[in-house]
A and B are shown apart, each in its own frame.
Chain A
Amino acid sequence: MNGAMDLSLWQMAASYLFIVILLIIVKTRGISREREILISSVRMTLQLVFTGYVLVFIFENPSPLLTVAVIIIMEIFAVNNIYKRSKNSLSRSLKRIIAFSMVSGTIFSLVYFLLVVVRIAPWYDPRYFIPIAGMLIGNSMTGISLGVNNMVSNMYTQRLLVESALMLGATPKMAAKEITDTAFDSAILPTINSMLGMGIVFLPGMMTGQILSGTSPVTAIEYQIAIMMGILGSVSLSVILFVQLGYGTFFNERSQLVIEREEITE
């Protein structure tokens, strides 16, 4: 099997030249986004160079401790990213539930996927563990993030409907059912959509990577199918946990809707 060609310094420079040409076009067209393009290119370069060296180090010194540490860092970043991407302010209890669903949903799927499906040995083999964890955590992060935004904003905009349901003797679960259902849909839709286009509209990143590195497309597809199952499972599991636990934070122990709101005295 022949590995992917190493890119020479000149070839790398050529890829940057491409961006420089783009910048000139953007500038002359008067689209004021040069700054963003420049910053994101530089940032991406630095992050990846750094990660490249970190991964080389970890792969050369495989240890369970290092693998676990990397997973913990990934989870912390992912959870914080969800908090930051939320358009509404999140209550402390909702934040706790986000962190819990994110971590338990992804870890459970990851363990199942690595130890039951791929059966890596040793269990902490960083060459498998880290990239696959990245994919599961990243996708679950996007899913929960969408679910959180959807649920929180619907709880605000539909609070009269939710409260009306309570007035009719609904339990909080019944009163929030439509909202939790839409939150779940919005969270898993991107994953479902990408599965539908996969192999026809585009070749997924992991598979492309494996093919470039000389792996047979058949092997690459096996991995891709398995990882998609893992991603779907991980996204669904963490989002189900989130919506099932999350709606409860909008109600108190007297089954009253507790949303910060302008006091309605009339």
Chain B
Amino acid sequence: MFILTDVLYKNILNIRQLNIKKGSITCIVGESGSGKSTLIKLLNNLINIDSGEILYDENSIDQIDPIELRRKVVMLPQTPAIFNGSIRDNMLIGLKFSQKPMVKDDVLKDLLKKLKLTASLDKDADLLSGGEKQRIALARILLMDPEVLLLDEPSSALDEITEEIIIQILLEFARDKNKTIIMVTHSKKVVNLISDKIIEIKRGKEIFEGGDVK
């Protein structure tokens, strides 16, 4: 799905060769400041590489329309973005931005239940706790049903039980729909439970690829 060759980004990243397969779950680990978030931002062209090449589905990323790319390769940032409006508005905003058809309230309610959120759809989303906001932001991108999910620490603000729920949901999403997930995480549990492949970044310079975990 993604093939990176001789990728250079400032003096943050230097990747000789990296291959991410379709339908796999990849975890990116490494210490703070090693360039993990930078790596996933390269994959949806939120930033440009300085040299080298990134292929998405055999096309060079700089040849693909960036908006189209980001509608297929959707990213969840580390700090969940909450836009003005209700929970409903916030869940639907991804579909709105990517100009996809809206969904009914029932679908939203089911998803909230799955994510163990009990708040009403009309509640002002700004009043939610950090962990709740994180789940709303995740719900939003799951609704978009993209080819690839780029997740930046999706479980950092969650307690253990909620984390397990999120892990299950992501696992289902990848397995049942043959979708690709690439996530930055510090959670050993997430890495151990669902990763097909582990990428360790050390000071951005060296990339260690763990083989198939399972």
Contacts and interface: CB of A to CB of B under 8 A. Distances in A.
Contact of B77 (A160, A178, A254, A263): A160
Nearest to A257: B46
Nearest to A175: B97
Given A163-B46, A256-B66, A169 B35 contact: no
Interface string A168-191: 111100110010000000000000
B9 to A, nearest CB: 10
A139 B69 CA distance: 43
Nearest to B70: A169
A70 interface: no
Contacts of B97: 165, 168-170, 174-175
Interface string A149-171: 00000000000110111111111
Interface in B47-88: 47-48, 62, 66-67, 70-71, 74-79, 81, 83-84
Contact of B81 (A164, A257, A266): A164
B79 to A, nearest CB: 6
A166 B46 contact: yes
Interface residues of B, number: 39
A179 to B, nearest CB: 12
A256 B45 contact: yes
A169 B98 contact: yes
A171 to B, nearest CB: 6
Contacts of B117: none
A255 interface: yes
A45 B77 CA distance: 58
B83 A161 contact: yes
B67 A167 contact: no
B38 A265 contact: yes
Contacts of A171: 67
Interface string A17-30: 00000000000000
A169 B84 CA distance: 18
Contacts of B14: none
B183 interface: no
By size class, the interface of chain A is: 20 to 34
Contact of A165 (B66, B81, B141): B81
A264 interface: yes
B25 to A, nearest CB: 19
A265 B35 contact: yes
Nearest to B61: A254
B179 interface: no
Contacts of A166: 46, 70
A265 B12 contact: yes
B44 interface: yes
B135 interface: no
Contacts of B44: 167
Interface in B1-58: 10, 12, 32-38, 44-48
Contacts of A257: 46
B46 A256 contact: yes
A203 B36 CA distance: 63
B197 interface: no
Nearest to A253: B66
A260 to B, nearest CB: 14
A168 B94 CA distance: 5
Given A168-B93, A170-B67, A174-B96, 6 more contacts: A160-B77, A164-B77, A166-B70, A167-B44, A168-B97, A254-B45
Interface of A: 160-161, 163-171, 174-175, 178, 254-257, 263-266
28 contacts: A163-B77, A165-B83, A167-B74, A167-B77, A168-B70, A168-B74, A168-B94, A168-B97, A168-B141, A168-B144, A169-B70, A169-B94, A169-B98, A170-B97, A170-B98, A171-B67, A178-B84, A254-B45, A254-B48, A255-B66, A256-B46, A256-B47, A256-B48, A263-B10, A265-B12, A265-B33, A265-B204, A266-B33
The 8 closest A-B pairs by CB, nearest first: A164-B81, A169-B98, A169-B71, A170-B97, A167-B75, A168-B94, A168-B97, A255-B66
